[in-house]
Amino acid sequence: MFENMVKQLKNIAHSHWYWLFYIVAGISTMAVALYHQYGLDEMPCMMCIHVRLWISLLIIVSFIGLLVRKNLLMNSIVHVSTVLIAIALTITSYQLLGTERGFLVTECSFDLGLPEWFAIDAWLPWLYRVETTCGYTPEVIFGITMAEGLMVMSVCLLVVSFCVALASFSRADN
């Protein structure tokens, strides 16, 4: 049974549906954030922009994964990259949730803390400019705040990405 599950995960690791799901989920997450920003006038904080940056990177890496899924080496690199992005997104989501709930004291400013050569907030201000300080995230649905939803989503992303990446390295036959 375990070997069958590993085979299924290995098939998923090479499937275009896996990468398409991450692309669509990432774009949908960004659309929700932009709706809250421009439709509901809920301005993003520094950590919210960091979440957007990680999700943007996930979309880019997932697109690359879609293109290179048949190449064993590149597929492995993309899966490891996805796990690393999921770890970073989980950490950032935890910091955002901790700031919202008050169990973490984090530094939050209007400066993204990125190097000058990567001034993405100046290049795409409608998407990546910090507009407010941290401390509050809006309710998304059923009383769940954006920070709570991001925490659940990022942990699920981490678990799924880790399992699929691990299976992609297995020697189980297809």
Domain ranges of the chain: 2-168
Pick the CATH number of 2-168 from 1.10.390.10, 1.20.1550.10, 3.30.200.20, 3.30.930.10: 1.20.1550.10
The Cα 48–Cα 147 span in angstroms is: 9
The predicted model scores a pTM of 0.89
The Cα 147–Cα 100 span in angstroms is: 8
Residues in Cβ contact with 159 at an 8 Å cutoff, skipping those fewer than 6 apart? none
- Tens-digit pLDDT profile for residues 77-88: 999 999 999 999
Q: Which two tokens stand for residue 165?
A: 């990446």
The Cα 170–Cα 29 span in angstroms is: 31
- Tens-digit pLDDT profile for residues 130-157: 888 877 778 888 888 888 999 999 999 9
The position carrying tokens 């992303």 is 157
The position carrying tokens 């709706």 is 35
Amino acid at 93: S
